[in-house]
Amino acid sequence: MNYKIKSRIWIELDDKEFLGEGKVRLLKAIEKTGSLSKAAKSINISYKRAWQLLDAVNKSSNRPVTINSVGGKGGGGTELTPFGKSLIEVFDDMNKQCWKFLDVQIEKIKAL
């Protein structure tokens, strides 16, 4: 028998999802590409969906997660604030610690 644990972590604020794997994936893509549209393409979601996800995080946060610059000769862009980068780090650490815990728990099941 091959037991598996399935789990997803998200953070809620006032009963609404504030941050989860999809939003963190988008934030990481923004950090990598410097652009919301490029980030959306890189993770295969529409620009509209990416904008909605980012807008939801920024509106529910007490600090900005991204900074947008308006297009022009060099083009616009989106970059993460230090707070946005910290959110990714904390979320990734929580997720990692959760999986470590779950790995120990599944070993208990296997030992039965």
pTM of the model: 0.86
For residue 35, what is the domain's CATH number?
1.10.10.10
- Domain boundaries, position 105: 10-111
Residue 1 inside a domain? The answer is: no
Report how far apart, in Å, the C-alpha atoms of 102 and of each of 10, 14, 36, 106, 111 are: 16, 27, 34, 6, 14
What's the number of domains the chain is made of?
1
- Express each pLDDT in 82-96 by its tens digit: 999 999 999 999 999
- Express each pLDDT in 48-74 by its tens digit: 999 999 999 999 998 999 998 776 666
Residue 47 inside a domain? The answer is: yes
Task: Give which of 63, 76, 71 is closest to 30, Cα–Cα.
Answer: 76
